[in-house]
Amino acid sequence: MSLKFLPNALCVARMLLVAPLVSYIVGGRYAAALLVLVVAGFSDGLDGFLAKRFDWRTRLGGLLDPAADKLLLVASFVSLSYVGLVPLELTVIVVARDIVIVIGAVLYQWLIAPVEGEPAAVSKLNTACQLAMVFFALTAAAYGWPPQISLTVLGAAVVFTSIVSGLTYVLRWGGRAWRVAHGAN
């Protein structure tokens, strides 16, 4: 029996962890939310390892993995803002970036050609900063560490990488669309 389905199953499981994560955050059970976040992070690493190590990559997995990551992070930021642990302005920037990227990708796919390619390096850095922000906001709420100044600096990193990565995608894919539309491949 092939286990090629396993990375996709882990992505779906990660999506299912969003509900308890949000519930724990909104309910003030920050240590439990932190545990769910760690399990989700482990599953993300494991599904990526399995897909690459055993060549179990699929088109579905290529869509599920980033969708699971975005669902987890957006739900976390919205929940953390709701309970006052992350500034609303930061959440608006994070969510707006994702909305712009998704709308751009859908339009490109619909009007130009299939969207293909690796995420930009700054986008990977942005995801890491967002994940660190959620992790440390929960750690600070549950255990009183790290100090607020650390969260402020990390929040600034999230803002910076969100804006830069969002602009990177707009310029990259907008430029490609313009070249295709004007016959200058």
pLDDT tens column, 102-111: 999 899 889 8
Structure tokens at 40: 């989700």
Mean confidence (pLDDT) of the chain: 94
Q: Would you say residue 183 has pLDDT above 90? A: no
Query: Read out DSSP for 128-148?
Result: HHHHHHHHHHHHHHHH--S-H
Structure tokens at 164: 């830069």
Q: Would you say residue 117 has pLDDT above 90? A: no
Instruction: State which residues form the domain around 133.
Output: 6-181
pLDDT of residue 17: 98
Predicted structure pTM score: 0.93
Rounded-to-integer distance, Cα 59 and Cα 98, Å: 21
Rounded-to-integer distance, Cα 112 and Cα 124, Å: 25
Question: Is the distance from CB of 46 to CB of 10 less than 8 angstroms?
Answer: yes
Question: Is the distance from CB of 24 to CB of 57 less than 8 angstroms?
Answer: no
Please state, for a pLDDT cut of 70, what percent of the chain lies above it.
99
Question: Is the distance from CB of 14 to CB of 43 less than 8 angstroms?
Answer: yes
Rounded-to-integer distance, Cα 18 and Cα 75, Å: 7
Q: Considering the domain boundaries, does residue 13 fall inside one?
A: yes
Q: How confident is the model at residue 185 (pLDDT cuts 50, 70, 90)?
A: low
pLDDT of residue 73: 98
Q: Considering the domain boundaries, does residue 1 fall inside one?
A: no
Dihedral angle sign, alpha carbons of residues 75, 173, 128, 89: negative
CATH number, domain at 12? 1.20.120.1760
Closest among 90, 168, 88 to 130, alpha carbons compared: 90
- As for how many domains the chain has, the answer is 1
Q: How confident is the model at residue 1 (pLDDT cuts 50, 70, 90)?
A: confident
Q: How confident is the model at residue 181 (pLDDT cuts 50, 70, 90)?
A: confident
